[in-house]
Amino acid sequence: MTGADKERLRQVRAAILGDRPDTSLSTTLYPVYVAVIAAGAYGVPAAQQLFRTLDGHWLAAHAWTPGGAVVAACVVALLLVVVRLVGRVHGPVVPPLPYLELVVSSPMPRKVTLARNWRLSLGGSIIGGLLAGLVAGAGLAIANVANPVVLMPATLGGTLLGVVVAELWLQGQVHSSPLGLPKGSSLPRGRRNALSMLDITGLKRQSASNATIGGAVLAGDLRTVRLDAARPSTHARHVRLRASGPRMVIARRDLLGLRRAPWGALYGLGFAAAGSAGLMLSLQSPRTPTMAPLFSLIVAYLGFGALCEGLRLHADNSGTSRLLGIAYRDTALAHCVVPVSLWALSALVADAVLSLAGLVRPIAFVWALGIGILLAGSHLMASFRGLPPAGVFGPNAGVPALIFWYARPLLATLVVGTAMTAWAARTPAPWVAFSWMLILTGGVVLWGLALVDKRDRRS
């Protein structure tokens, strides 16, 4: 940055601030202060409690083996992939729209006008990584899962991860540009000029989306967040929906929707297979730690959710003129056919592979089928929950109440699925546990259908 650039930026900042004092330093440091306090006061106790709850002895025995290293590497790789994808929707360099219109659009070099936003995101990512490493290391040490020396590499690793996360986040944003990369440039070779590669249209789009999503999050409107973040479909436009019976055509619609969102479908099928495999493996030994079905259910919930776009779109459409010839509830149930069928297919493949490897008994597939119904019920709940009630925004409720309200479908899945799977693994009569799981699953499905009917009445 030349002296002239610095002076021009100083003048811009002076013009933006007017007579107000420059509070940018305190505004930047305050979140860091809050994050440090929260990490120490809540993060470390929560982490060590989590490690104890998840069976500290089992973790201590397995975390430092080659298998543990592979799992950790996979988790980090997944995180980095997700970060890069997030960058395409919401990158690290997203100044407010007026700044984009008045400053970034000017002839000043973009690597100058955007440098401050990038430094803030980079700093936030590094501090976040450092604190995450510190919290995880302290939790492992206090829970006796690892030697206290782990604190040093964990903190250092977290910090390095923070740097890599910020870089990939920026790469994702640069690659999302509607103009593409300039001719002859490539990432990471052109990393030094990454800020110059950000075009004004992409920056404005992300900034406007940022404002929309920010408002929607504050209002608890996850539907707006999802629709704003998702890219509109343009794949396979020449494939036509085949006419069929009233319910069959809904299932065909969902299959076509997945075909037009192939990455989402692959992600859903992959997570469904991994989640169902984890659940079937969890049944095999009474010594399986409770965290195995818990994590498997989280993976399964995410995978099943990726296959439920048709169900969510149906819920999004409540309140508009009805054009379909079948009732609202029937349409919702018809939208469950594809996700449940694909879940069953994924579980069947996972069961076959694991059975051939001698890791599970083939009958474990029946358990995965039951979990599929549970997931359908919880996704009915999630899709038709609507907006949160005004009560959760009240002075006596706060953020935890809002999070709890949103997390109810996931919590229902985790509580029923984890408890019943852990019980089935430990009891000599797993069919009793299976029967109870079906009863509780019925409750979750009925809860979901009640929410469908509620949305129907409102529309």
Cα–Cα dist 249/332, whole Å? 13
Q: Are 172 and 91 in contact (CB under 8 A)?
A: yes
The H-assigned helical ranges of 307-398 are 309-316, 328-334, 337-356, 364-383
* Residue in 300, 281, 266, 295 with CA at minimum distance from that of residue 365: 281
Q: Which is nearer to other proteins, 111 or 226 (CB)?
A: 226
Could you say whether residue 178 binds other proteins (CB under 8 A)?
no
Could you say whether residue 399 binds other proteins (CB under 8 A)?
no
Point out which span in 60-68, 121-129, 156-164, 229-237 binds other proteins (CB under 8 A). 229-237
Query: Token pair 């990038």 is at which residue?
Result: 118
Q: Are 136 and 158 in contact (CB under 8 A)?
A: yes
Could you say whether residue 246 binds other proteins (CB under 8 A)?
yes
The CB-of-313 to other proteins minimum distance in angstroms stands at 5
| Token output for 296 | 């498997």
**Contact residue for other proteins among 28, 209, 224, 233 (CB under 8 A):** 233
Query: Token pair 């358990």 is at which residue?
Result: 367
Could you say whether residue 250 binds other proteins (CB under 8 A)?
yes
Q: Which is nearer to other proteins, 314 or 379 (CB)?
A: 314
Residues in the chain: 459
Cα–Cα dist 330/315, whole Å? 12
Could you say whether residue 395 binds other proteins (CB under 8 A)?
no
Could you say whether residue 228 binds other proteins (CB under 8 A)?
no
The CB-of-369 to other proteins minimum distance in angstroms stands at 27
The CB-of-240 to other proteins minimum distance in angstroms stands at 6
* Residue in 197, 202, 207, 208 with CA at minimum distance from that of residue 177: 202
Q: Which is nearer to other proteins, 158 or 305 (CB)?
A: 305
Question: Which 279-318 positions form the footprint of other proteins (CB under 8 A)?
Answer: 309-310, 313, 317
**Contact residue for other proteins among 253, 379, 385, 455 (CB under 8 A):** 253
DSSP-based three-state secondary structure for 324? coil
Q: Which is nearer to other proteins, 106 or 244 (CB)?
A: 244
Contacts of 104 (CB under 8 A, 6+ apart): 95, 110, 113, 114, 200, 203
Cα–Cα dist 452/23, whole Å? 48
* Residue in 102, 98, 95 with CA at minimum distance from that of residue 116: 95
Could you say whether residue 439 binds other proteins (CB under 8 A)?
no
Point out which span in 118-126, 184-192, 198-206, 230-238 binds other proteins (CB under 8 A). 230-238
Could you say whether residue 211 binds other proteins (CB under 8 A)?
no
DSSP-based three-state secondary structure for 369? helix
Q: How far is CA 280 from the centre of its chain?
A: 24
Q: Are 111 and 196 in contact (CB under 8 A)?
A: yes
The residue type found at 62 is: H
Could you say whether residue 390 binds other proteins (CB under 8 A)?
no
Could you say whether residue 323 binds other proteins (CB under 8 A)?
yes
The CB-of-229 to other proteins minimum distance in angstroms stands at 13
Q: How many helices (H) and strands (E) does the chain have?
A: 20, 0
Could you say whether residue 327 binds other proteins (CB under 8 A)?
yes
The CB-of-242 to other proteins minimum distance in angstroms stands at 7
* Residue in 426, 248, 281 with CA at minimum distance from that of residue 368: 281
The CB-of-312 to other proteins minimum distance in angstroms stands at 11
Query: Token pair 């409540």 is at which residue?
Result: 318
- Identify the H or E element spanning 71: helix 66-89
Could you say whether residue 265 binds other proteins (CB under 8 A)?
no
Could you say whether residue 456 binds other proteins (CB under 8 A)?
yes
| Token output for 121 | 């995101």
Q: Which is nearer to other proteins, 189 or 238 (CB)?
A: 238
Point out which span in 75-83, 111-119, 138-146, 253-261 binds other proteins (CB under 8 A). 253-261
Number of residues in contact with other proteins, rule: CB under 8 A?
A: 38
Q: Which is nearer to other proteins, 301 or 328 (CB)?
A: 328
Q: Which is nearer to other proteins, 249 or 366 (CB)?
A: 249
Q: Which is nearer to other proteins, 16 or 229 (CB)?
A: 229
Could you say whether residue 450 binds other proteins (CB under 8 A)?
no
Could you say whether residue 238 binds other proteins (CB under 8 A)?
yes
The CB-of-331 to other proteins minimum distance in angstroms stands at 8
Q: Which is nearer to other proteins, 189 or 240 (CB)?
A: 240
402: buried, middle or exposed (CB in 10 Å: 19+, 13-18, 0-12)? middle
Q: How far is CA 26 from the centre of its chain?
A: 31
Which residues in this chain contact other proteins in the complex, by CB under 8 A? Answer: 227, 232-234, 237-238, 240-246, 248-250, 253, 256-257, 260-261, 309-310, 313, 317, 320-328, 331, 456-457, 459
